[in-house]
Structure 1
Amino acid sequence: MKLFKSKLAFLSPIIVLVVVLVFGLTLIPSVQPTPKNLPIVFVNEDQGVDIPNQGKVNMGKTIADMIQKTSQSTSGEEPAVKFISVSSYQEAKKGLDHRDYYAALVIPKDFSSKQASLRGPKPISPEIEIVVNQGINTAGSTMAGTVLNGMVDQINTNVRTQLLKAFEVQGGTVTTKQAAALVSPITKKVINVNETGTNSMNGNAPVSLFQPLWMASIAGAVIIFLTLSKVRFATRKEKFSALIAQVLMGAVIALVAGFGLTWMADAIGVHISQFGDTALFLSLACYSFFLMISAVLSWTGIKGVPIFVIMLFFGAPLLAMAPEFMSPFYRDWINPWLPIRFLVEGLRDLFFFGKNFSWNHPTSVLTWIGVGSIVLIFASVVKFRSRQEEKSAAM
């Protein structure tokens, strides 16, 4: 049969194996991701209390020392969480709003005085605040909240043991109020900031919106490129004019994609608090991607398309992950160079952090990607050969 005489037919199993191996590598980031140095901010505002025969006691400092010991890895590996101490809740809140921390553990001013009251006739349970920064990343903030809840539970167990020993020394008499306080000597107050809400695809709306926008950018760039490739230009001036039209057409495509995707997301129930700002940002991102893809195609031809398809498959698993969950290779060498991550970061600011469409880090990066791409697109005119040059080369 002619099929078995074809070299391509014999190479097909090898090609399929290469495809499986290449795209199989995209699964690596999702296999048992474990956090390393997940940043959590710690605030100790405890003013302490004077106890007879003991002097000044500051239980907040005791907890801070315990946190420092538990966060240190004994195996030599990087710890799962990294506590950063700041002096005030205002400073911690600023870091949470700037996406520096996934959560905060706050010891209030009256913590020691209330804890000291647990041994008296009128016990008042002290309170620890756990502040979870939901909008920064669903997996990261959930993990941080779990760690802090477990830590407070452990503190509760230790305090309960100490109180029972103290009551035993006093003769074992415990009032009804003291017994009630022993159930949970320290109460937890969990506060969610920069909340993802109920209609945000479990906080993954920014990640979910990237794929249709990315595919729209590829489709638009390929269609315009193929259209231009069928046109014969007599001079470089004609070619340059066509490139200007390509850039302008990309802007129209981007606006249609940005506003269309925002309308569709809103129509299917995704909470879009700032329709105009979201649509403009998506349009900017789409235009930036369109220009970047067009710049590559202008130098490589249609052979450059697989680059962006591979970028889609390699980038998608990383976008939903916190950098602290990635392996060092993906965190240091893949994630920083993914242009699509700036789209997700910008959408997080708009969806969960109450920011407007403005000149911030994601916007500036996407803008400069677009500017650099425009330069490359126009520079590709040097490859163009006029009809006269083609005739001369043929002679």
Structure 2
Amino acid sequence: MMKQKLVWVLPLIVAAVIFVFSLAMIPTINPTPVRLPIALVSEDQGVTLPNGTATNMGETLTGMIKQQTSSTASADGPAIEWVHVNTEKEAMSGLDEQKYYAALVVPADFSQNQATLLTDKPVQPQLRIYVNQGMSASASTMAGQVLNQIVDTMNAKIRADLLAAAGKQSGKVTVQQASVLAAPIAKDVKNVHETGTHTANGNAPVSLFQPIWMGSILGGVIFYLVISKLNFAYRRSLLAARVVQTVAGAVLALIAGFGLTWFAGSWGLHIPDGTATAIFLSLCYFAFFLMISAVLSWAGLKSMVLFVLLLFFGAPLLSLPAEMMGSFYRDYVFPWLPMRFMVEGLREMFFFGRGLDWNHSTAVLTGIAAVSLVVLLGSALKARQNRQTARGNVEPQTVEA
């Protein structure tokens, strides 16, 4: 046995396989946000102080926030990309459209309330924080933590300034003032598009990906093996077989889509609209099945390596927003993952109240299915060798037109 070359090469093969698949761990080891878009709204109307000085604490506060986050920027850029929005209503619309992971709103009476903190009747100013929970579990959590930390830092600075001002005035602080000075700025934190419970911590769309993907691979490989064992005298016979394969794929898609929806619901996963989810999952299966079948029809079983790599490299990325990926994965891997459209479509259905409609994800998946179908049917037009020729037993034989 030790004389076999494969035995000596095996350690190198194992090391190479471990190295390749260990690369899939990189995106999840230390995900760091870069330019995470957060809406920043200041509706503060400002106030005129008793000495006649006009001030707008909202503008001052937003300037301090931008300076604080820019000072902690990494080589790739700042962790937060502040997007100035005119009104709170516009910011909420952006959250609905998944433009922002969170929003920080300075209300109209912020300066007015700020000016009362050292008076006999202090009124605590308030900031409103909206966290877009359904957009990404990890990114929304991080965005919420960043915003809370920013407000806490602002509180510490304002508290110190107010205490210094109180010391210059009379040196005395009333009980009412002391209670407000403990946290000069109040936070009103609200989660929008909440993931709720029984959603795999907001990762329900990612959880449904692997069964559909593996089922698509299984269906594509079985049909490839069945068709490769048959000898077709005419190209039209092979074309008819491809049509049958496509129809069978549609049937498998319905079984997979409705079956997975039923199983997932039975196991406790919260699915807002079962029928819409089942139809969308069927579309995903059909698109992936046709894509895999089309590649197999031209490249053979060796192309299975591609789909296995897509699974191992793609799965860790699906739960991360693009802003938390390394530049290589964000620019060269993530854009080419067909399964990301499945996850994005399910996320809109589960957390954003959108049913089954013609959106970006549905359009892309339909496009994948259409192009793959053309490629699959086109494989019937190429010269095809019979089984004996493929094994090298006879001379190549081209089918008659």
Q: Place the TM-score, normalised by the shorter chain, in its bin.
A: over 0.9
Query: Equivalent residue for 1:107?
Result: 106
Indicate the larger mover: 64-73 or 374-383: 64-73
The counterpart of 1:26, out of the listed 24, 27, 35, is 24
* CA shift digits 1:332-383 (9 cap, x unpaired): 0000010011111011000101011111011111110111100110111122
Tell me if structure 1 keeps the 8 A contact 2:42–2:58: yes
In the TM superposition, structure 1's runs of 4+ consecutive aligned residues that sit over 6 Å from their partners are none
CA distance in 2, matches of 1:75, 1:243: 54
Residue 45 of structure 1 contacts residue 108 of structure 1 at CA under 8 Å; is this kept in 2?
Answer: yes
Measured in 2, the distance between the counterparts of 1:196 and 1:374 equals 36
SS at match of 2:129: strand
- Whether the aligned pair in 1 keeps the contact of 2:213 and 2:288 (CA below 8 Å) is yes
Q: Distance in 2 between matches of 1:95 and 1:303?
A: 45
- Secondary structure of 2:40's partner? strand
Deviations 1:194-229 (A, max 9, x none): 100011111011111111111011011111111111
Partner of 1:149: 148
Tell me, what secondary structure is at the counterpart of 1:27? helix
Secondary structure of 1:191's counterpart equals: strand
| SS state at 2:98 partner | coil
1:274-285 alignment, distance < 5 Å: 274-285=273-284
Shift of 1:7: 2.3
Which residue is equivalent to 2:96?
97
Q: TM-score, normalised by structure 2?
A: 0.94
Cα deviations across residues 139-181 of structure 1 (Å, max 9, x unaligned)?
A: 1001100000000011111111121112112212222211111
TM-superposed CA distance for 1:9, in Å, is: 2.1
Q: CA, structure 1 residues 40+75, in 2 after alignment: closer, same or farther (shift >3 Å)?
A: closer
Task: Report how far residue 394 of structure 1 moved.
Answer: 6.3
1:209 matched residue in structure 2: 208
Displacement, 1:75?
Answer: 6.5
Greater fraction of residues in helix: 1
CA contact (8 A) 1:284 1:367 kept: yes
**Matches of 1:75 and 1:263, distance apart in 2:** 46
Q: What is the percentage of aligned positions where both structures have the same residue?
A: 51
Distance 1:4 1:170 in 2: 91
Q: Rate the CA distance shift 1:166–1:385 in 2: closer, same or farther, 3 A.
A: closer
Match of 2:46 among 45, 48, 52: 48
The worse-fitting range, judged by mean Cα deviation, of 174-183 and 132-141 is 174-183
Unaligned runs of 5+ in 1: none
Aligned with 1:6 (options 4, 29, 32): 4
CA distance in 1, matches of 2:303, 2:332: 21
Inter-CA distance 231–149: structure 2 relative to 1 (3 Å threshold):
same
Q: Structure 2: how far apart are the matches of 1:140 and 1:371?
A: 34
Report deviation, 1:5: 2.6
Structure 2 counterpart of 1:371: 370
Aligned with 1:135: secondary structure? coil
Structure 1 residue 299 corresponds to structure 2 residue 294: no
> One-letter code of the match for 1:131?
Y
Shift of 1:13: 1.5
Partners of 1:331 and 1:289 lie apart in 2 by: 22
Q: Report the aligned-residue RMSD.
A: 1.7
Number of the residue aligned with 1:123: 122
Change (3 A) 1:386 1:186: closer
Larger mean CA deviation between 167-176 and 125-134 belongs to 167-176
| Paired amino acid for 1:286 | Y
Query: In structure 1, what is the equivalent of residue 132 of structure 2?
Result: 133
Alignment of 1:1-395 (within 5 A): 3-73=1-71, 77=75, 78-385=77-384
Q: Which moved more, 1:246-255 or 1:220-229?
A: 220-229
Which ranges in structure 2 are unaligned for 5 or more consecutive residues? none
Q: Provide the C-alpha distance between the structure 2 equivalents of 1:310 and 1:363, rounded to a whole number of angstroms.
A: 24
**1:120 aligned counterpart, secondary structure:** coil
- Relative to structure 1, the CA distance from residue 76 to residue 394 in structure 2 (aligned partners, 3 Å threshold; closer, same or farther) is closer
Instruction: Classify 1:74/1:372 alpha carbon distance in 2 versus 1 (closer, same or farther; 3 Å).
Output: same
Secondary structure of the corresponding residue to residue 43 of structure 1: strand
Question: Separation in 1 of the partners of 2:350 and 2:73?
Answer: 40
Measured in 1, the distance between the counterparts of 2:262 and 2:395 equals 54
Check the 8 A contact 1:234/1:386 in 2, yes or no. no
How many residues get paired? 391
**Hey, what's the Cα distance between the residues in 2 that align with 1:141 and 1:310?**
29
Amino acid at match of 1:291: L
In 2, the alpha carbon distance for the partners of 1:209 and 1:76 equals 35
Between the aligned partners of 2:396 and 2:309, the Cα distance in structure 1 is 37
Task: Give the Cα–Cα distance (whole angstroms) in 2 for the partners of residues 109 and 355 of structure 1.
Answer: 32
Counterpart amino acid of 1:16?
V
Cα distance, 1:386–1:213 mapped onto 2, change above 3 Å: closer
Partner SS for 1:251: helix
